[in-house]
Structure 1
């Protein structure tokens, strides 16, 4: 049994928008046997442009039931049935979110008629519901209303399963079984992008590397990295739809390629370089930089060397280059608190304790009084300088040797005089007696605050790589 569903909403984001109409057609594999339709009061104003698109106004839903009042009917109507929709992730994500807000986990097997249409009627110019119905002569009434779109999707589903129901050697049972197998396969792959096959996903490696999503033109639209490429890509496809953009992103994925990297550090470094080089459309956040908060230093009017933190792009009071970049203010504060404790610095002079008098640490005898002038700037600044030295790499020039892409290979990452030079791969038998030997084995990449943070984070973590120091 199949529950063919369409909804209308106040917008495109399940996290903040609500359902205004739902329609369900029950199909038993042969024909529609039941249907359900209702407007829903979203308990918020419907944006004007949404009303223009759907025809559903605030006045129309004013006396309609709220979602919690029809939730039981939706559960009972869809129980034990496959959830079918055109771009199923959109409708399914909204309904899951509505139920989650009520403290209920709504879970059904899903089937996408976009994927099913591409599989059974290949080569059409468009698989949007309106253009698809026009291509195969399905009447579409009340467009952008749940009842109209659900009815059209039900007719599409009916036509699709009958297109693929040939009589095999005169045997109707074999024909029905053939159709059943096709539907089972589509249910298994319903969460995949329409252009991506199960075989493509099955053939992905379960090792570290960088992966690329391509559109139909072959253009790279997203670059990602993982210590398990296959697992990460499956996670991409299985996560609930969050916005219209995320649905467009998924539907635009037409191919997947990858580069094996051998370990997480090299994967991170290569991903960062590729995003900056290719500027993929869907890597906007990473393209701008994931490290947006800086640690800054300046000398105040009393001669004390101060530390502070703030946005790198909006550093009005400290408009200099940050000493170190971190992903957000929370991590920056945590970083400074760690340095305050380790180097016995003053919380007030690190902008971690707002007061006109002594800082909290002075009151518990852990600050030596720079906050109230009891410790001289010269003595205090020596400890600040020691803390600043620790912001950079522990060693000036060093090489990180990690796992390679295959047995008998190892990766090499080179830092010289505090500057990242690049990485490469060498045979296990490779031997080097100088930094220049390692430099000859790498591909050069640009140094920047992102890769510096990647390497610092790796060195602070519990890695198992070999580190060779060249002083």
Structure 2
């Protein structure tokens, strides 16, 4: 659990500043579950430059509560949480100073979104909250006011959690959870999870991830893990103390995040899923007469397939459907082994490429259409899929045929600027598994929106 904090102060000498406004959002990693926002009477003068910057003046604060009147609420909302702020060193120092004046030692674990951003979003020209959020397409209302800046930091922190592929932030959070939460019964864990599409992480008490999975219904899948009687499930049940999750909205995003997370974290119970998930591929070659042949073969890593399949049966099923869709020859697609004409030619549904009747040029055009549609070699495109919320969409970026990563954007925000698009994208590995996942998903979801960037 986190509390995202922003504080406005009077300015002045170091450790003599007073708080003029505070905003705290309690955030569970997915949504704000509590909040506290208030002006504060600092009982001291506000520096003129601060008045100009924030718009907060002494007249506004005359009837505002003094810090000691809200101190208990601040303690309660931040208890057992990690305090998050943009330049956390400043906000945490101000809070501790105010509490020290009351004779109370205020201690919390902290996270700084400036430092996290430098690590997870490198090479930005500026890491000030205003410029960073603008570069990332994060809307900010009431800039230099506590509530506006704190809520922008919530949005930024949500993006940073997405970009933290090794899940260091989450694992550290699990360590900090109170003992009674860590030792929750499996039933309580199940009840705390949503029935949504996403990736889930099973943790030991020290935060270590022991298993990663994806599901269209996380709660149902975890329930299956916890009620299964297999040897592996029983071992996991004994070790797991917490389950965290990432909402993905899209099954494609969940598949890609699961694949990346397993490779990054190498959980002990995911050994089988570290292996390549496909066995067969579709390849092409041109014969001496100039006809393009398509052939299903086992993937050996030496040749680059047009697309890949989980098994031979799914590959053959795909080819039978494409032969009908593109009016191709069964012989030239490896589905009918013969030295003469294919079966479809005898029933007049093949144009005769198998017996050299159809010109290679016209036949190859249809084959090339199939190849282009099922491979994205040299393609520059964005696949748009469902987001985690109604007004959000997921963007999967492909550049020069290489999978670059995933990002989320609000529907009110345009992604036609490639630089902004690249900044919201969480970089991920391009490998055979991700290529297979994307191509298979595109085959099965033909109505998926794809934006060509060329």
TM-score using structure 1 length = 0.51
Q: Secondary structure at the match of 1:348?
A: coil
Asked whether 1:312 is paired with 2:295, we answer no
Distance, in Å, in 1 between the alignment partners of 2:409 and 2:361 is 49
Q: 1:221 aligns with which of 210, 213, 216?
A: 210
Determine the C-alpha separation between the residues in 1 that align with 2:248 and 2:203. 20
* 1-structure distance, mates of 2:362, 2:246: 52
Q: SS of the counterpart of 1:352?
A: coil
Q: What displacement does 1:442 show?
A: 1.3
CA RMSD of aligned residues (A): 3.1
Query: Which runs of structure 2 are paired with 1:75-90 in the superposition (5 Å)?
Result: none
Note if contact 2:309-2:440 (Cα within 8 Å) is conserved in structure 1: no
Sort the Cα spacing of 1:293 and 1:284 in 2 relative to 1 into closer, same or farther, 3 A. Answer: farther
Equivalent in the alignment of 2:308: 325
> Once the 2 structures are TM-superposed, how far is the Cα of residue 215 of structure 1 from its aligned partner?
4.4
Q: Cα gap change, 1:407/1:455 in structure 2, threshold over 3 Å: closer, same or farther?
A: same
Measured after TM superposition, the shift of residue 202 of structure 1 is: 1.2
Name the counterpart of 1:268.
Answer: 255
Aligned-residue offset at 1:416 = 2.9
Indicate how the Cα distance of structure 1 residues 257 and 344 shifts in structure 2: closer, same or farther if over 3 A, else same. same
**2:375 alignment counterpart:** 392
Q: Distance in 2 between matches of 1:425 and 1:457?
A: 21
Cα-to-partner distance string for 1:258-291 (whole Å, 9 max, x where unaligned): 2222332222221111122223333233311212
5+ residue gaps, structure 1: 1-193
- Equivalent residue for 2:405, pick from 422, 431, 445: 422
Q: Give the direction of change, closer, same or farther, for the CA distance of 1:443–1:312 in structure 2 (3 Å limit).
A: same
In the alignment, the residues of structure 1 paired with residue 406 and residue 331 of structure 2 have an alpha-carbon distance, to the nearest angstrom, of 41
Q: How does 1:427-466 map to 2 (within 5 A)?
A: 427-461=410-444
Counterparts of 2:241 and 2:310, CA distance in 1:
31
CA distance 1:235–1:323, shift in 2 (3 Å): same
Q: TM-score, normalised by structure 2?
A: 0.53
Give the structure 2 partner of residue 210 of structure 1.
199
Q: Deviation of residue 411 (structure 1)?
A: 3.0
Local SS of the residue matching 2:316: helix
Separation of aligned partners in 2, 1:459 and 1:308: 20
Output the CA distance in 2 between the equivalents of 1:339 and 1:464. Answer: 17
2:325 to 309, 317, 342: 342
- Alpha-carbon offset, residue 398 of structure 1: 3.1
Q: Which runs of no fewer than 5 residues in structure 2 stay unpaired?
A: 1-182
CA 1:199–1:428 in structure 2 vs 1: closer, same or farther (change >3 Å)? same
Contact 1:395 1:469 in 2 (8 A): no
- 1:325 Cα offset (Å): 1.0
Give the 3 Å change call, closer, same or farther, for CA 196–324 of structure 1 in structure 2: farther
Task: Indicate how the Cα distance of structure 1 residues 459 and 383 shifts in structure 2: closer, same or farther if over 3 A, else same.
Answer: closer
Match of 1:73 in 2: none
Q: Report how far residue 456 of structure 1 moved.
A: 3.5
